[in-house]
Amino acid sequence: MRAGVAGGVLSTLAVAGAAGSANAAEPVTQTIELPTLTADMTAQVAESAEVTQQAAADYQLRAERDAAAAKAAKQAKADLADAKKKAEAKQKAEDARKAAAERATRSSERTTLTSTSADSDVPAPASGSVGTVVNFLKAQLGDAYVMGATGPNAWDCSSLVQAAFKQVGVDLPRVSQDQSVAGTPVSLSNIQVGDILYWGGAGSAYHTGVYIGGGQYLDAANPSKGVVIQDLSGYPASGAVRVL
Protein backbone atom coordinates (compact mmCIF):
# COMPACT_ATOMS: atom_id res chain seq x y z
CA MET A 1 0.00 0.00 0.00
CA ARG A 2 2.82 2.38 0.89
CA ALA A 3 4.46 1.59 -2.42
CA GLY A 4 1.24 2.36 -4.28
CA VAL A 5 0.77 5.67 -2.55
CA ALA A 6 4.33 6.67 -3.17
CA GLY A 7 4.03 5.78 -6.84
CA GLY A 8 0.87 7.76 -7.18
CA VAL A 9 2.47 10.82 -5.55
CA LEU A 10 5.48 10.61 -7.77
CA SER A 11 3.28 10.32 -10.82
CA THR A 12 1.28 13.34 -9.81
CA LEU A 13 4.45 15.42 -9.26
CA ALA A 14 5.77 14.36 -12.60
CA VAL A 15 2.63 15.45 -14.36
CA ALA A 16 2.59 18.77 -12.49
CA GLY A 17 6.24 19.39 -13.33
CA ALA A 18 5.61 18.73 -16.98
CA ALA A 19 2.69 21.07 -16.98
CA GLY A 20 4.78 23.76 -15.24
CA SER A 21 7.50 23.44 -17.83
CA ALA A 22 5.01 23.81 -20.60
CA ASN A 23 3.49 26.91 -19.05
CA ALA A 24 6.91 28.49 -18.52
CA ALA A 25 7.66 28.23 -22.18
CA GLU A 26 4.59 30.26 -23.27
CA PRO A 27 4.90 34.15 -23.44
CA VAL A 28 2.83 36.12 -20.99
CA THR A 29 0.67 38.88 -22.46
CA GLN A 30 -0.46 41.71 -20.07
CA THR A 31 -3.33 44.02 -21.01
CA ILE A 32 -3.23 47.60 -19.57
CA GLU A 33 -6.59 49.13 -19.35
CA LEU A 34 -6.76 52.95 -19.87
CA PRO A 35 -8.83 54.81 -17.36
CA THR A 36 -12.29 55.62 -18.56
CA LEU A 37 -13.04 59.37 -18.96
CA THR A 38 -15.61 60.23 -16.44
CA ALA A 39 -17.97 63.20 -16.60
CA ASP A 40 -15.84 65.11 -14.05
CA MET A 41 -12.65 64.66 -16.06
CA THR A 42 -14.41 65.80 -19.23
CA ALA A 43 -15.60 68.94 -17.46
CA GLN A 44 -12.08 69.67 -16.18
CA VAL A 45 -10.61 69.40 -19.67
CA ALA A 46 -13.28 71.73 -21.06
CA GLU A 47 -12.74 74.23 -18.23
CA SER A 48 -8.97 74.22 -18.83
CA ALA A 49 -9.49 74.94 -22.54
CA GLU A 50 -11.88 77.79 -21.73
CA VAL A 51 -9.38 79.34 -19.29
CA THR A 52 -6.64 79.14 -21.90
CA GLN A 53 -8.88 80.77 -24.51
CA GLN A 54 -9.87 83.57 -22.09
CA ALA A 55 -6.22 84.23 -21.22
CA ALA A 56 -5.40 84.53 -24.92
CA ALA A 57 -8.30 86.96 -25.39
CA ASP A 58 -7.12 89.03 -22.41
CA TYR A 59 -3.59 89.24 -23.83
CA GLN A 60 -4.95 90.34 -27.19
CA LEU A 61 -7.15 93.00 -25.57
CA ARG A 62 -4.23 94.29 -23.53
CA ALA A 63 -2.05 94.48 -26.63
CA GLU A 64 -4.76 96.42 -28.46
CA ARG A 65 -5.12 98.81 -25.52
CA ASP A 66 -1.35 99.37 -25.36
CA ALA A 67 -1.24 100.09 -29.08
CA ALA A 68 -4.15 102.54 -28.77
CA ALA A 69 -2.46 104.27 -25.82
CA ALA A 70 0.81 104.61 -27.74
CA LYS A 71 -1.04 106.05 -30.74
CA ALA A 72 -2.92 108.50 -28.50
CA ALA A 73 0.31 109.60 -26.81
CA LYS A 74 1.96 110.20 -30.19
CA GLN A 75 -1.02 112.23 -31.38
CA ALA A 76 -1.08 114.24 -28.14
CA LYS A 77 2.61 115.06 -28.56
CA ALA A 78 2.01 116.22 -32.13
CA ASP A 79 -0.98 118.32 -31.03
CA LEU A 80 1.10 119.92 -28.26
CA ALA A 81 3.87 120.84 -30.70
CA ASP A 82 1.31 122.31 -33.09
CA ALA A 83 -0.31 124.31 -30.30
CA LYS A 84 3.09 125.61 -29.20
CA LYS A 85 3.88 126.78 -32.73
CA LYS A 86 0.53 128.54 -32.98
CA ALA A 87 1.05 130.21 -29.60
CA GLU A 88 4.51 131.44 -30.64
CA ALA A 89 3.15 132.81 -33.90
CA LYS A 90 0.32 134.53 -32.03
CA GLN A 91 2.80 136.05 -29.56
CA LYS A 92 5.00 137.33 -32.37
CA ALA A 93 2.00 138.92 -34.04
CA GLU A 94 0.97 140.52 -30.73
CA ASP A 95 4.51 141.85 -30.15
CA ALA A 96 4.55 143.33 -33.65
CA ARG A 97 1.16 144.93 -33.05
CA LYS A 98 2.32 146.45 -29.76
CA ALA A 99 5.51 147.77 -31.37
CA ALA A 100 3.50 149.39 -34.18
CA ALA A 101 1.11 150.92 -31.65
CA GLU A 102 4.03 152.28 -29.63
CA ARG A 103 5.58 153.85 -32.73
CA ALA A 104 2.24 155.41 -33.63
CA THR A 105 1.88 156.76 -30.08
CA ARG A 106 5.34 158.31 -30.15
CA SER A 107 4.64 159.96 -33.49
CA SER A 108 1.33 161.32 -32.18
CA GLU A 109 2.97 162.63 -29.02
CA ARG A 110 5.67 164.42 -30.94
CA THR A 111 3.07 166.01 -33.23
CA THR A 112 0.97 167.12 -30.26
CA LEU A 113 3.91 168.44 -28.29
CA THR A 114 5.31 170.30 -31.29
CA SER A 115 2.02 172.11 -31.90
CA THR A 116 1.27 172.96 -28.26
CA SER A 117 4.52 173.42 -26.39
CA ALA A 118 5.27 176.94 -27.61
CA ASP A 119 3.61 177.85 -24.32
CA SER A 120 5.86 176.20 -21.72
CA ASP A 121 2.97 175.99 -19.26
CA VAL A 122 1.12 173.48 -21.47
CA PRO A 123 1.80 170.02 -19.94
CA ALA A 124 3.10 167.18 -22.04
CA PRO A 125 0.96 164.06 -22.42
CA ALA A 126 0.91 161.95 -19.25
CA SER A 127 1.49 158.66 -21.06
CA GLY A 128 3.96 157.31 -23.60
CA SER A 129 7.76 157.35 -23.62
CA VAL A 130 8.26 160.84 -25.06
CA GLY A 131 5.59 162.34 -22.82
CA THR A 132 7.15 160.67 -19.76
CA VAL A 133 10.56 162.13 -20.58
CA VAL A 134 9.20 165.65 -21.10
CA ASN A 135 7.01 165.47 -18.00
CA PHE A 136 10.00 164.45 -15.89
CA LEU A 137 12.12 167.29 -17.26
CA LYS A 138 9.40 169.88 -16.61
CA ALA A 139 9.02 168.58 -13.06
CA GLN A 140 12.65 169.62 -12.43
CA LEU A 141 12.20 173.24 -13.57
CA GLY A 142 13.73 175.58 -11.01
CA ASP A 143 16.17 173.01 -9.63
CA ALA A 144 19.75 174.17 -9.14
CA TYR A 145 22.66 173.57 -11.51
CA VAL A 146 25.63 172.00 -9.72
CA MET A 147 28.51 170.46 -11.64
CA GLY A 148 28.59 166.70 -10.94
CA ALA A 149 25.19 166.65 -9.18
CA THR A 150 22.74 163.88 -10.07
CA GLY A 151 19.50 165.01 -8.40
CA PRO A 152 16.99 164.96 -7.01
CA ASN A 153 17.09 168.76 -6.50
CA ALA A 154 20.34 169.67 -8.25
CA TRP A 155 21.71 168.57 -11.63
CA ASP A 156 24.27 169.22 -14.27
CA CYS A 157 23.24 169.11 -17.94
CA SER A 158 24.08 165.47 -18.70
CA SER A 159 22.82 164.01 -15.40
CA LEU A 160 19.41 165.62 -16.00
CA VAL A 161 19.21 164.17 -19.53
CA GLN A 162 20.35 160.77 -18.26
CA ALA A 163 17.75 160.74 -15.46
CA ALA A 164 14.93 161.80 -17.82
CA PHE A 165 15.49 158.94 -20.26
CA LYS A 166 16.00 156.45 -17.46
CA GLN A 167 12.30 156.96 -16.66
CA VAL A 168 11.46 155.05 -19.85
CA GLY A 169 14.17 152.40 -19.58
CA VAL A 170 16.79 154.07 -21.81
CA ASP A 171 20.24 153.81 -20.23
CA LEU A 172 22.26 156.78 -21.50
CA PRO A 173 25.93 157.48 -20.82
CA ARG A 174 26.67 159.88 -17.97
CA VAL A 175 28.62 162.63 -19.76
CA SER A 176 27.74 165.01 -22.61
CA GLN A 177 30.48 163.76 -24.94
CA ASP A 178 29.06 160.24 -24.94
CA GLN A 179 25.42 161.34 -25.02
CA SER A 180 26.08 163.25 -28.24
CA VAL A 181 26.74 159.97 -30.07
CA ALA A 182 24.39 157.70 -28.10
CA GLY A 183 21.52 157.71 -30.60
CA THR A 184 20.77 158.12 -34.29
CA PRO A 185 22.03 161.47 -35.65
CA VAL A 186 19.28 163.78 -36.97
CA SER A 187 19.57 167.13 -38.70
CA LEU A 188 18.46 170.19 -36.76
CA SER A 189 15.89 170.85 -39.47
CA ASN A 190 14.19 167.53 -38.68
CA ILE A 191 14.33 167.44 -34.90
CA GLN A 192 11.33 166.11 -33.01
CA VAL A 193 10.13 166.33 -29.42
CA GLY A 194 12.29 164.10 -27.24
CA ASP A 195 15.47 164.40 -29.33
CA ILE A 196 18.70 165.11 -27.46
CA LEU A 197 20.43 168.35 -28.46
CA TYR A 198 24.13 168.90 -27.97
CA TRP A 199 26.55 171.81 -28.22
CA GLY A 200 30.08 171.25 -29.48
CA GLY A 201 31.22 168.41 -31.72
CA ALA A 202 29.68 164.96 -31.87
CA GLY A 203 31.74 162.89 -29.45
CA SER A 204 33.26 166.00 -27.90
CA ALA A 205 30.13 167.93 -26.85
CA TYR A 206 30.29 170.13 -23.75
CA HIS A 207 26.55 170.53 -23.14
CA THR A 208 23.26 168.64 -23.73
CA GLY A 209 19.54 169.32 -23.41
CA VAL A 210 16.22 167.90 -24.71
CA TYR A 211 14.03 169.42 -27.42
CA ILE A 212 10.43 169.91 -26.19
CA GLY A 213 8.92 171.40 -29.34
CA GLY A 214 8.00 174.90 -30.51
CA GLY A 215 11.64 175.82 -31.05
CA GLN A 216 12.39 175.29 -27.35
CA TYR A 217 14.56 172.96 -25.29
CA LEU A 218 14.89 172.19 -21.60
CA ASP A 219 18.25 171.88 -19.90
CA ALA A 220 20.24 172.37 -16.74
CA ALA A 221 21.81 175.51 -18.13
CA ASN A 222 24.35 176.89 -15.68
CA PRO A 223 24.71 177.91 -12.00
CA SER A 224 22.94 181.22 -12.56
CA LYS A 225 19.91 179.81 -14.41
CA GLY A 226 19.52 176.29 -13.07
CA VAL A 227 16.98 174.04 -14.89
CA VAL A 228 15.10 176.16 -17.44
CA ILE A 229 13.30 176.20 -20.81
CA GLN A 230 15.11 178.17 -23.50
CA ASP A 231 14.70 179.13 -27.16
CA LEU A 232 16.97 177.55 -29.72
CA SER A 233 17.07 180.87 -31.55
CA GLY A 234 18.97 182.38 -28.65
CA TYR A 235 21.48 179.55 -28.32
CA PRO A 236 21.43 177.28 -31.41
CA ALA A 237 22.50 173.66 -30.87
CA SER A 238 25.32 172.05 -32.80
CA GLY A 239 23.53 168.77 -33.49
CA ALA A 240 20.95 166.26 -32.31
CA VAL A 241 20.51 162.53 -31.76
CA ARG A 242 17.35 160.45 -31.37
CA VAL A 243 17.01 157.58 -28.91
CA LEU A 244 13.19 157.20 -28.88
pLDDT over 70 for what percent of the chain?
Answer: 70
Interval 108-136 mean pLDDT: 62
Interval 70-80 mean pLDDT: 82
Residue 203's pLDDT is 96
How remote is the C-alpha of 137 from its chain's centroid? Answer: 39
pLDDT of 128 higher than 90: no
The helix or strand, by DSSP H or E, that contains position 97, with its residue range, turns out to be helix 39-116
Q: Pick the residue with more confidence: 140 or 83?
A: 140
pLDDT over 90 for what percent of the chain?
Answer: 48
Which CATH architecture describes the domain 114-242?
A: Alpha-Beta Complex (3.90)
Domain boundaries along the sequence of the chain: 114-242
Q: Give the strand pairing for 239-242 and 196-199.
A: antiparallel
pLDDT of 67 higher than 70: yes
Burial of 155 from C-beta contacts in 10 A (0-12 / 13-18 / 19+): buried
Helix (H, G, I), strand (E, B) or coil at 192: coil
pLDDT of 212 higher than 50: yes
Q: Give the strand pairing for 154-155 and 227-231.
A: unpaired
The CB density around residue 190, as the number of other CB atoms within 10 Å, is 9
Nearest-angstrom CA–CA distance, 138 and 37: 113
